[in-house]
Structure 1
Amino acid sequence: MTTTELTDLDRRMLDRIQASFPVASRPFVTLAKDLGVSEAEALACVRGLKASGVIRRIGAIFDSHRLGYRSTLCAIAVPEERIEEVAALISEYPNVTHNYEREDRYNVWFTLIAHTAARIQAILDEIAETTGIDDILDLPATRLFKIKVDFDFTGERDARSEAPVATRPAETEAVVLSREEKALARLLQGDLHITERPFLDLAKTLLECGYDVDENWVLERTREWVDTRVIRRFGAAIRHHRTGFSANAMGVWHAPEERVEEVGAIMASFKEVSHCYQRPSAPTWPANLYTMIHGRTREECVEVARRIREATGLEEPRLLYSVREFKKTSMKYFAEGE
């Protein structure tokens, strides 16, 4: 994939909106003030980043468990000559949001989201029956140390920062949403219009669909969901390969159970780590900690893993690099008919 040449404003804009896009009536006024430009310049910058493909979308990343859903990371050991066939079958499920080939015996890795654990198991059973491959790992997160896709585009951040408070997804309390709120959630998980008043656009769409709401209601609900972590992140999803971050490795580690909490916090403190989870081990897969490491080269990922080893005292991990992206999308929560 071709790397896009970024201006100084592009880099500062991406640094600003990847983690937090302003939930405000005139968000580009807020961005303009933050970055020392005009509203028109801020709008033009984001439109340019969208047009070039650097920004995939701007919108909400919801916490599945807060919406009453369940999620898991899965892997299947596929004969090399069947990878594309099996990956295509897996990608057909709307419950699959991410699907990658990685360098390992377990070479197709995908995420599954559904209303119940029973539905997830049913999908895995269907995949096993259809493909004839039953060597599948089901690895739901038992503890979340970090989920923050936040690339350092300016080179001004510290190498490490304080890790967020760890949470246990199974203990997360689901919210109950009204019909209007579910309709708003369906829009927020899409792509925000790049206009002067994008939240007014959402309100108009809801009004046209028969919901008696206005811009203030949209803003209030969205802010409330951000504050209460129903929305895990409201910001720009970035095609990091286009910005020079072309290497990413899933670090697969094993830590003694009594050290998991300590070690997970250390791992989460590294700026190059976007995701850090504890997951169950399996007879064919002893790992219990996972870090998603991003870098401009594989060598950078190896160096980050070395620094993590040095900080934690753990043995060398397996680094599973992404080879191919078969699917990357957002879950469609509260699809019509639910």
Structure 2
Amino acid sequence: MDDLDRRLINRLQLGLPLVRQPWQVLADELQSTSTELLDRLHARLEDGVLTRFGPMFDIERLGGAFTLAALAVPEERFEEVAGQLQALPEVAHNYRREHAWNMWFVLACATEQDVTETLQYIETLTGLPLLNVPKEETYHVGLYFPV
């Protein structure tokens, strides 16, 4: 990563400008071109420096439902189960934690009933007990990690 990569990542954490040509606005701000910025973004996604780039939606305000859940996955099955979860369109993301409940994931579904059915399906698919941790209250935490 060079200085432009760092400045781009830092700027993208603040959101894209809500204009017709957001990448041109960013290019002007960062003294680059929109093509260069997009190429760099794709390169950082491909090399794993960035794992995701995209919008964050409040699924409940859009009429959907979601939950946070966890599995206690034996280490020898961790990659297998991660692949099973990643193959499900309802799984927004999953990640490892250093805890007995070592695989956490977020489900985003159309309805609460779909959440319940998907959680049951995951238990059946993996053969593992599942911990469901639905949201009780919403907090907005603006995160910014300068690079």
State the alpha-carbon separation in 2 of the partners of residues 47 and 145 from structure 1: 34
Q: Secondary structure at the match of 1:145?
A: coil
1:24 aligns with 2:19: yes
Q: Which residue of structure 1 aligns with residue 33 of structure 2? A: 42
1:105 is displaced (CA, Å) by 0.7
1:124 aligns with 2:119: yes
Q: Which residue of structure 2 aligns with residue 102 of structure 1? A: 97
1:149 is displaced (CA, Å) by 4.4
Which amino acid in structure 2 is aligned with residue 51 of structure 1? Answer: A
1:71 is displaced (CA, Å) by 0.7
Which amino acid in structure 2 is aligned with residue 90 of structure 1? Answer: L
For the 8 Å contact 2:95–2:103, the answer to whether it is kept is: yes
Q: Which residue of structure 2 aligns with residue 79 of structure 1? A: 74
1:29 is displaced (CA, Å) by 3.9
- RMSD between aligned alpha carbons? 2.3
1:143 aligns with 2:137: yes
State the alpha-carbon separation in 1 of the partners of residues 41 and 145 from structure 2: 15
1:50 is displaced (CA, Å) by 2.0
Gap regions ≥5 residues in structure 1: 154-338
For the 8 Å contact 1:19–1:149, the answer to whether it is kept is: no
State the alpha-carbon separation in 1 of the partners of residues 128 and 18 from structure 2: 46
For the 8 Å contact 1:74–1:109, the answer to whether it is kept is: yes
Q: Secondary structure at the match of 2:138?
A: strand
State the alpha-carbon separation in 2 of the partners of residues 113 and 70 from structure 1: 6
For the 8 Å contact 1:69–1:114, the answer to whether it is kept is: yes
For the 8 Å contact 1:95–1:113, the answer to whether it is kept is: yes
**What do residues 155-184 of structure 1 show as CA deviations (whole Å, max 9, x unaligned)?**
xxxxxxxxxxxxxxxxxxxxxxxxxxxxxx
State the alpha-carbon separation in 1 of the partners of residues 51 and 80 from structure 2: 26
Which amino acid in structure 1 is aligned with residue 87 of structure 2? Answer: E
1:58 is displaced (CA, Å) by 5.0
**What do residues 122-143 of structure 1 show as CA deviations (whole Å, max 9, x unaligned)?**
1222222333322x21112222
Q: Which residue of structure 2 aligns with residue 51 of structure 1? A: 43
For the 8 Å contact 2:23–2:37, the answer to whether it is kept is: no
- Structure-2 change in CA distance of 1:128 and 1:42 (3 Å): same
TM-score if structure 2 supplies the norm length? 0.80
Q: Which residue of structure 2 aligns with residue 231 of structure 1? A: none
1:32 is displaced (CA, Å) by 4.0
1:55 is displaced (CA, Å) by 5.1
Q: Which residue of structure 1 aligns with residue 2 of structure 2? A: 6
1:31 is displaced (CA, Å) by 2.3
Higher strand share: 1
Q: Describe how 1:232-251 pairs up with structure 2 within 5 A.
A: none
Q: Describe how 1:147-296 pairs up with structure 2 within 5 A.
A: 147-153=141-147
State the alpha-carbon separation in 2 of the partners of residues 13 and 24 from structure 1: 18
Which amino acid in structure 2 is aligned with residue 103 of structure 1? Answer: E
Q: Which residue of structure 1 aligns with residue 83 of structure 2? A: 88
1:56 is displaced (CA, Å) by 5.4
State the alpha-carbon separation in 1 of the partners of residues 51 and 15 from structure 2: 15
- Structure-2 change in CA distance of 1:50 and 1:148 (3 Å): farther
Aligned residues: 143
Which amino acid in structure 2 is aligned with residue 49 of structure 1? Answer: L
